[in-house]
Amino acid sequence: MARRRVALPAEVDGECVFCAIVAGRAEQSLVATTELATAFLDVQPAVTGHALVVPRRHANALADLTADEGAAVWELGRAVAAAARSAGLADGVNLFLADGRAAGQEVWHAHLHVLPRTPGDGLRLDDRFHLVPRGALDAVATRLRASLPLAP
């Protein structure tokens, strides 16, 4: 039988729970902190060593992060993943970021999951992958390019 996450409050006394953790006003098992990001263990880990990396400034979603904050979250996530391997907690690592309700985001503070993986850990990331015709892929790529705020 698969374990399910228990819905926990995203706010405590009207404050974002991750902001309270970053500020030291809520319990946490701190892994690391930098000027722009903080990593702590998830209270409902999918696997041993499951960490969350958050920007220190409140940002609801990925698009709300500055480039520096995004880079800091990614870099700290990379460092925590490397530490999980060095600590003997991982033979591999999955990084996961749910951005928006449809993607499964439950706490409205952007956060990166660092999931240490070992053979037989039971964590499944199954989905409905399938081959798509090149023309359909090209049409989606065109839509994305047209919406990017970057130069073509």
Q: Give the residue numbers annotated as catalytic, written as ranges.
A: 111
Question: What are the angstrom distances between the C-alpha of 135 and each of 33, 39, 131, 145?
Answer: 45, 41, 12, 15
- Indicate if the pLDDT at residue 152 is higher than 60: no
pLDDT for residue 1: 42
Give percent of the chain above pLDDT 70.
90
Could you report the per-residue pLDDT of 90-144, keeping only the tens digit for each? 999 999 999 999 998 999 999 999 999 999 999 987 767 788 888 988 888 888 8
Averaged pLDDT for residues 28-43: 95
CA pair distance 43, 27, nearest whole angstrom: 10
Query: 41: exposed, middle or buried (C-beta count within 10 Å: 0-12, 13-18, 19+)?
Result: middle
CA pair distance 88, 98, nearest whole angstrom: 27
CB atoms within 10 A of CB 76: 24
This prediction's pTM: 0.87
Spell out the domains of the chain, with CATH numbers in brackets. 11-121 (3.30.428.10)
CA pair distance 56, 69, nearest whole angstrom: 8
